[in-house]
Chains A and B, each alone.
Chain A
Amino acid sequence: MADAILDVRDLSVDYLTRGRPAKAVEEVSLELRPGEFLGIVGESGCGKSTLLFAIAQLLSPPAQITGGEVIFKGANMVQLGEKALRAIRWRDYSVVMQSAMNALNPVKTIGAQFADAMRAHQKISKAAVLERSREVFALVGIDAVHLRSFPHQLSGGMRQRAMIAMALLFSPDLIVMDEPTSALDVVAQRALMVQIKELQRELGFAIIFVTHDMSLVSHFSDRLAVMYAGRFAELGPTQEVFASPMHPYTIGLFDAFPSVHGPKVHIGGIPGAPPDLAALPGGCSFAPRCPKAMAACTGREPEFYQVAERRVRCFLHGPEGGSDD
């Protein structure tokens, strides 16, 4: 895709341990258009946060990129040195973490942290720092008096909005978000999602949003990727994925949520547990938990088959279909 702002190609990340390396991300490819909202969902240990950190070049040992490229605005970030990365972080792309309480410095006011971020990139007057800080606070709906507040003086929802304000300081083209709403209550969570979407419409940045709760992004993301054991199991337009999930894992996840609407039905969840990434089973990594597994599934790994606008890593949707059972 020529107009992609981000092009991730065959990205792999290993956690190097004393035993066999854990393959947390295995040959993941994705493209992001300017202003697109991509949701990545998966359970704990599926590699979704590692993928996000690898894209943002924030991995630290024992995690290591073992292959692939992250082309952002024309440059391969995997090859960039720390100095070059520092120049584009916050300015061209920014990161919003799961826990603002941990991501913010507890002994500095929010305003001072905004000033630090801005001064790291340019010579800028105090007045200009204050003006921009007020602007981004206004964008997320926080009163400017809270620039003088310390992180602990804000509520959870406000801290998370302050983090988003900080991510907006330089009007970046891409914001990557790692479960930014998971510490919030359901009402505050919903309000924050609506706000993120409104900001995106207004400012036009692209978003990669990682979450374990697929229903959370259902009304907000343009495309949805479902991740399992370090790989994408399914990728497609969000509404399509919800309307007709194709991968048995996506179907299982979708059915594991009790609904507050409609008739009350018994649900079963997905039996078993995700595999150990250091000792993946041969063939499809979901096969041991899959209700539709066939002989072929344990033999070799399915490819990421293209089905219309969707991609699915399952033999049921491959060229041979489900013909061998």
Chain B
Amino acid sequence: MTEVTGGFGGDAPAAAAPVPPPVLETRGLTRHFRIGGMRGRTLHAVDAVDLRLDEREIVALVGESGSGKSTVARLLAMVYQPTSGTILFRGRPLAELRSRREVLSYRGQVPMVFQDPFSSLNPAHTIDYVMTRGLKLHQPALGRGEREAEAERVLETVGLVPARQTLAKYPHEMSGGQRQRVSFAQALSYRPKLILADEPVSMLDVSIRVGLLNLMARLRDEEGVSLLYITHDIASARYVSDRVVVMYAGHIVESGPSEEVLHGPVHPYTQLLLSAVPDPRVPISITSAEIAEPPRVIEPGQGCRFRSRCPLAVEMCAQVTPQLRTSSPGHQAACHVTVPQEPGS
């Protein structure tokens, strides 16, 4: 598992120490859905996505509804099988996981936290039951006392103190923010490498949200966990993440270090997304009420999927699908106009 599988870029420093493989990596990850019965059309939810999450890293996957971001999360959580492409967990393809035990072990190491804290916890059971059940499944070696200690440890880590009292509670006795902390505690009790968090704060009140975002940063810094933070809120993505990956209509259109992407967005879609964020501190920048919604990608042809909304679109955008190209070190965007392809590359 510690074997080096990197080196695809070919531009790594020559004498570097062996680099551990990324915690999770996808190559050409694609998922299509058949829709429309008789006519048998295909919805391209996710197309050729290359994603990488390193150790102790928070990557924000940002996009509007229909961008494919939640489909990516479900592919990584093994809820869906990819149509094509591979997912590598610490260098090993997920397709090689055959036995139930291996799949279970993967799910424990890469747990998911869901959006809705009101439906993701069973209302009929106490938090103690919820935590114990997860631990029995994913940490079967622990005895009863150890399970209890572990449950208390993770509840304290997420700030639900006193932990002993929290364990006795039912979900309805807790606020939305507290329930979402329980979800993180549960994920944490499996000793995960990576937590998939699908819009974990979007249903919470504004005054509660930032506490959860701070918790995510603390899990990375103190527990050494990586997080994939899936969100439509680019401001919170900036606040908590190390890198930002922007998806549009099933494609990654831009990725790079958060501050760099947010201060110097290269793709016109990222620029649009940023200009739409309501912020009382800056003057309004979108002033037209144009129809502005992402397309459903059914049987797409060649070409950039953003071109119909793009102020910069040129003829080439309708003919050739732009590939991700490096605009500055670590920062990539897929746009014919803002990151032109170098001749011969």
Give A residues with C-beta under 8 Å from B.
43-44, 141, 155-157, 185-195, 198, 212-216, 218-219, 242, 252-254, 256-262, 264, 266-270, 273-274
Contact = CB atoms under 8 A, between A and B. Distances in A.
A144 to B, nearest CB: 15
B293 A185 contact: yes
Contacts of A156: 65, 293
Contact of B232 (A185, A193, A259): A185
B206 interface: yes
User: Dominant SS at the A interface?
Assistant: loop
Interface string B275-286: 011111111101
Chain A CB within 10 Å, residue with most, of B208, B232, B234, B294: B208
A194 B280 contact: no
Contacts of A192: 289
B271 to A, nearest CB: 11
B291 A191 contact: yes
Interface string B145-161: 00000000000000000
Contact of A43 (B206, B274, B290): B206
A191 B289 CA distance: 4
Interface stretch (B83-91, B97-105, B108-116, B209-217): B209-217
Contact of B284 (A155, A219, A257): A219
Contacts of B283: 219
15 contacts: A44-B205, A186-B64, A187-B292, A188-B292, A190-B276, A190-B286, A191-B288, A191-B291, A194-B287, A242-B280, A253-B207, A257-B206, A260-B279, A264-B259, A269-B210
A254 B206 CA distance: 9
A320 B272 CA distance: 48
Contact of B64 (A187, A193, A257): A187
B177 interface: yes
B174 to A, nearest CB: 9
A192 B208 CA distance: 27
A254 B211 CA distance: 15
A194 B290 CA distance: 9
Given A259-B235, A260-B234, A186 B277 contact: yes
B191 interface: no
B70 to A, nearest CB: 13
A268 B259 CA distance: 20
B273 interface: yes
B65 A273 contact: no
